[in-house]
Amino acid sequence: MSFNVDGVHPHDVGGRFNSSGIAGRTGVHCAASFMNSLGTLGSVGASFGVYNSMSEVELFIEPVWTMEKGFWSNEYPNDLLLPS
């Protein structure tokens, strides 16, 4: 699934996940023109499967609820990751 956290740059979300031991993907996911047409800088991607436990899902959700702006949100809040 792909998502954004309102007001937080996708790279800051990815960095928070990384520091929490969660692997995720950030960027435009080979769809720069589409992301630009949506007016978004990019998104965060995460994958779940039948093999994930509920405790793993909870580990994923916790950083989302406590997400804060970081370097990318403060230094590059409106810069496109890949200009079209």
Query: Which amino acids are annotated catalytic?
Result: 30
What lies within 8 Å, CB to CB, of 10 at 6+ separation is: 4, 26, 27, 41, 42, 43, 44, 72, 81
Q: Backbone dihedral region of 23: left (phi > 0), alpha (psi from -120 to 50 degrees) or beta?
A: beta
Contact between 69 and 12 (Cβ < 8 Å): yes
Measured CA to CA, the distance from residue 30 to residue 48 in angstroms comes to 20
